[in-house]
Amino acid sequence: MNEIGLFPLDLVLMPGEQAPLHVFEPRYRELIGECMEENEEFGLVLSDEDGIREVGTRAGVIEVLERFDDGRLNVVVEGRERFRLVELTEGRSFATAEVVGMDDDGEEPTADEVEQCLAAYDRVVKAAEADLEALDLDAESIAFQIAARVDFGTEGKQGLLELQSERERVLRLAPMLDQAADAVKRDREIRERASGNGRVEPL
C-alpha cells in the first residue's frame, strides 16, 4: 500500500490507453508538475455526482503538448496499472490517497469467446468506417484495448475497469459492442436519409 496524488475527473482511463488532458487548476498543475519532475505516476479516478470511485488507474505523462504562460498545460497521459483506493489522505493542495494494486484473479476467456468479441469489435469498426490502429492480440488484455478505442461512456468503461477477470471483461464487451454497432449503423442510416431528401423518415 502506498500514497499517491489523485486527479479526479469525469473520465475513465484504461490500462494502455492514452488521452489528452488540459491541466488548469493550480493544485493539479502542482501535482502534474511534481510527477513530471520526479518521473512519478498519479492516480486518475472517475469523479462524478456519485463521488470518487474506488478503482482507478495509475497514469504517467508521456508528452507535453503545450505550456501556457499562466502555468496551464496540455499533456498526453498513459494509463498503467489499476489500483483500489483504500483511504483518502490529507496534507497536500491536491487530493491524495492510500492505494493498493489491483490484479486479475479470475479465469482467461476461451479462444471462441475472444473470437466472438473480436468479431463484434470488427462490426463496430466497419459500421463507423473508422481507421483504427490494429489490436495487439498478444497483449495481456484485449478487452482493455477495445474499451480504449470504443466510446462506451464513463459508466460502461468504469464497469469494465473494475472487473478482475479478462474472461468477464470479454463476455461483457461482446453485447456492448453489438449494441454499439447497431447504434452506429442506425445513426448513419438516419444521416444518409436526412441528407438525401431533407427529412428523416421512420425506419
Q: Who has greater pLDDT, 94 or 193?
A: 94
Does 189 score more than 90 pLDDT? no
If one looks up domain 2-101 in CATH, what number appears? 2.30.130.40
Query: How far is CA 169 from its chain centroid?
Result: 14
Closest to 94 measured CA to CA, from 13, 5, 171 = 5
Kindly report the pTM of this predicted structure. Answer: 0.88
Under the phi-then-psi rule, with left for phi > 0, alpha for psi from -120 to 50, and beta for the rest, what region is 149? Answer: alpha
Strands 42-48 and 51-52: antiparallel
Q: What are phi and psi of 30, to 5 degrees?
A: -65, -45
pLDDT of residue 203: 45
Q: Over range 77-88, report the average pLDDT.
A: 97
CA distances from 16 to 10, 60, 63, 125 (A): 18, 11, 15, 19
Radius of gyration of the chain (CA): 19
| Residues 91-131 pLDDT 10s | 999 999 999 999 998 899 999 999 999 999 999 999 888 88
CA–CA dist 14, 8 (Å, integer): 15
The domain ranges of the chain are 2-101, 111-197
Q: Looking at the chain, which runs of residues are DSSP E strands?
A: 2-9, 18-23, 42-48, 51-52, 55-67, 73-89, 96-101
